[in-house]
């Protein structure tokens, strides 16, 4: 994406959402994120129009929540019982191809079979490459094909409003960015 795009907070939002899917709520990396959310930080950077459903989702992400309960939901959804697979390979996406995509662009190499990392990669490209072609390839080959399946499963199987809302808002921001990429 170009720096003068209409959705100028996409990098921050994709980093936030990617980390919320990639990391357990008790991960030290997220230490201040939930405080920031509670202070309505996401509302201050949200760049899309809100209907009733998306406003409720935004409010759900920013309400005070017991992190031990949220950690339990995360574990149930993505780790222990794995109600929803976080692995991109389970959605027909080659994790080896994704790892290669990251390597070619000089991104840190880590376990590439994770939806959260794909989301985080969009932010990395935005911040470090400023490459429309790389963003388009990421969206077309990895992010959108996986997101459509993964986010639907999260919305269906999450018990708490937090992850249902995260999935809904993720779909909205990804759809807006995909539309913007098509126009470039």
- What is the mean predicted confidence (pLDDT) over 123-137? 90
In a domain, 84, yes or no: yes
Chain-centre distance for alpha carbon 184:
22
166-178 average pLDDT score: 96
In a domain, 71, yes or no: yes
| pLDDT of 7 over the 80 cut | no
pLDDT per residue over 41-86, tens digit each?
999 999 899 999 999 999 999 999 999 999 999 999 999 878 999 9
Query: What does the pLDDT read at residue 9?
Result: 87
For the segment 82-102, the average pLDDT, to the nearest whole number, is: 95
Within 10 Å of residue 148's Cβ, how many Cβ atoms?
Answer: 13
Tally of domains in the chain: 1
Establish if 2 belongs to a structural domain.
no
pLDDT at 6: 41
Range of the domain at 36: 10-183
CATH number at residue 127: 1.10.3480.10
Is 1 inside a domain boundary? Answer: no
Indicate if the pLDDT at residue 21 is higher than 80: yes
Distance, CA of 143 to chain centre:
9
pTM of the model: 0.92
List, in sequence order, the alpha helices (H) in 27-143.
Answer: 33-38, 41-45, 52-62, 67-74, 95-104, 115-128, 132-137
Q: Do the domain assignments include residue 125?
A: yes
Asked if residue 167 is part of any domain, the answer here is: yes
In a domain, 100, yes or no: yes
Asked whether residue 5 is assigned to any structural domain, the reply reads no
pLDDT surpassing 80 at residue 174 = yes
The 8-class DSSP code of residue 20 comes to: H
């Amino acid at each position: 994406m170009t720096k003068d795009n209409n959705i100028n907070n996409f990098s921050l939002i994709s980093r936030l959402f990617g980390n919320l899917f990639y990391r357990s709520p008790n991960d030290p990396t997220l230490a201040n994120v939930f405080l920031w959310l509670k202070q309505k930080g996401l509302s201050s950077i949200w760049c899309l129009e809100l209907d009733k459903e998306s406003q409720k989702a935004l409010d759900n992400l920013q309400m005070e929540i017991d992190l031990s309960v949220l950690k339990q939901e995360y574990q149930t959804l993505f780790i222990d019982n794995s109600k929803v697979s976080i692995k991109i390979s389970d959605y027909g996406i080659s994790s080896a191809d994704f790892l290669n995509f990251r390597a070619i662009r000089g991104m840190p190499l880590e376990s590439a079979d994770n939806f959260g990392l794909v989301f985080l990669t969009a932010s990395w490209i935005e911040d470090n490459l400023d490459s429309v072609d790389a963003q388009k390839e990421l969206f077309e080959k990895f992010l959108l094909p996986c997101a459509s399946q993964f986010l639907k499963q999260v919305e269906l199987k999450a018990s708490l409003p937090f992850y249902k809302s995260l999935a809904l808002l993720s779909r909205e921001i990804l759809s807006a960015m995909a539309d913007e990429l098509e126009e470039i």
